Amino acid sequence: QKEVEQDPGPLSVPEGAIVSLNCTYSNSAFQYFMWYRQYSRKGPELLMYTYSSGNKEDGRFTAQVDKSSKYISLFIRDSQPSDSATYLCAMSVFQGAQKLVFGQGTRLTINP
């Protein structure tokens, strides 16, 4: 079983829609939960990170963590064509050093 599971999609929605991206995980030792965005032909870039259960908002983006269910989500409000990218969840755990485990990414397309 993979430590982090993410639906690879692809997911295609109309402009302005609310998008929900999700990951589940099995390792309860994960401490930090991150979302990276990767545009085509580019490297991933960090969007947001959270530590505790609950919500964290940054503009149109909201990251949600439910540690009891081992489930994290990223919500995008008022989605724009420029949001079209692959979104990767990542989780970190300290095992002698910090280790980052990535989901496989969800490919998102926002249609104008």
Which residues bind to another protein, rule: CB under 8 A?
Answer: 2, 4, 6, 8, 32, 41-46, 49, 51, 88, 92, 97-105, 107
User: Toward another protein, which CB reaches closer, 4 or 63?
Assistant: 4
CA 23/CA 97 separation, integer angstroms: 23
User: Toward another protein, which CB reaches closer, 75 or 102?
Assistant: 102
User: Toward another protein, which CB reaches closer, 71 or 102?
Assistant: 102
Question: Given phi > 0 = left and psi -120 to 50 = alpha, else beta, which region is 51?
Answer: alpha
Give the chain's largest Cα–Cα span. Answer: 47
Task: Report in angstroms how near the CB of residue 69 gets to another protein at its nearest.
Answer: 21
